[in-house]
Structure 1
């Protein structure tokens, strides 16, 4: 190895990683990937927290079962220092069993923690037409898991834009490009303490 390349190698070796395990909301569905909140977060990290990078392992349509089945592989691949888990919306929209959803999220949290990573659990809320019993139990999964495992919690990813129809694409589910910076800015205060 040439001596001139040593500083670059040392910088790369010291790089720390935020791994995002999410669904279409984190995979920038319907948008160029660079316009999504995760890519915007990566840009912010580069400027405000040099030495940090983002690995986005989000997949559109992903459920908690899919995330739980992939978590070990992604942890090995990226060796993250922080894991953002943004999953569950597709479970809820499909009316899947909430006990299983909770177990899948817990499996991801435990695997991440056991790998040495800090965890930010990002919650979701469901439309009221799913009924109060299901929607409330769905939300409780996030708060109770965060409390039980001592993880950071962002209760509702879409909170800054939820009431603004213009912030969503025609499907009324996925945010437009103009809304993505608001999501990044909403995630940042929950994530920043985990980077210290």
Structure 2
């Protein structure tokens, strides 16, 4: 009996000490994900990876963040490259942060088209077993109230329809802040990216925590 209890204790100890498997986050989007005009290590993906490695909530769990941002991409272009991005990864990502739509808006393209593309991308990621966090964007007021309503509303609508987490505004705390953006007034500088990462980090931690 004592031998059996000892073996059980040792078995439980081995299980408890077993290291957790590494996790991968895919940062899929446009120039906001690509680190436009920033030096290596200053963009969203590397700053988020560093924050996750230091996360107390994740307890030092190994997390790699893969940057898949392409400057200038619209939702149509992002949708077109989704499959080959996944095919080129060594391991399937556990979580994707999907951020697209800003270029559609800046070009005055149809919110309905952007919605259809983002919905298709969310469904494609989910079909491949990848958890999705959808990052929302806001529209410029000069596009008119109807456009702003339709564009900004597409993100919560897609998130709700597909049962995924919505991070309401990817540039939260950074947009229209002169000290946090580049000279173009739109893209975040390194300090701005740091603010973005700090604000989105709890949501990313919760998503990774929910993955068994």
Q: What is the TM-score of this pair, normalised by structure 2?
A: 0.83
1:40 aligns with 2:40: no
Match of 1:56 among 43, 50, 67: 67
What are the superposed Cα offsets for residues 131-167 of structure 1, whole Å, 9 maximum, x if unpaired? 1110111010101000100111111111212242222
Q: Secondary structure at the match of 2:36?
A: coil
The aligned runs of 1:117-128 (5 Å cut-off) are 117-128=130-141
Cα distance between partner residues in 1 of 2:127 and 2:88: 15
C-alpha displacement at 1:74, in angstroms?
1.8
The gaps in structure 2 that reach 5 residues or longer are 1-18
The aligned runs of 1:123-162 (5 Å cut-off) are 123-162=136-175
The gaps in structure 1 that reach 5 residues or longer are 1-10
Larger Rg: 2
C-alpha displacement at 1:187, in angstroms?
1.4
Cα distance between partner residues in 2 of 1:180 and 1:119: 21
Match of 1:87 among 89, 100, 103: 100
C-alpha displacement at 1:37, in angstroms?
2.3
Q: What is the TM-score of this pair, normalised by structure 1?
A: 0.89
C-alpha displacement at 1:43, in angstroms?
1.1
C-alpha displacement at 1:82, in angstroms?
0.4
Deviates more, 1:41-50 or 1:85-94: 41-50
Q: Secondary structure at the match of 2:31?
A: coil
Partner of 2:204: 191
Match of 2:182 among 152, 155, 169: 169
CA contact (8 A) 1:19 1:84 kept: yes
CA contact (8 A) 2:52 2:205 kept: no
CA contact (8 A) 2:176 2:186 kept: no
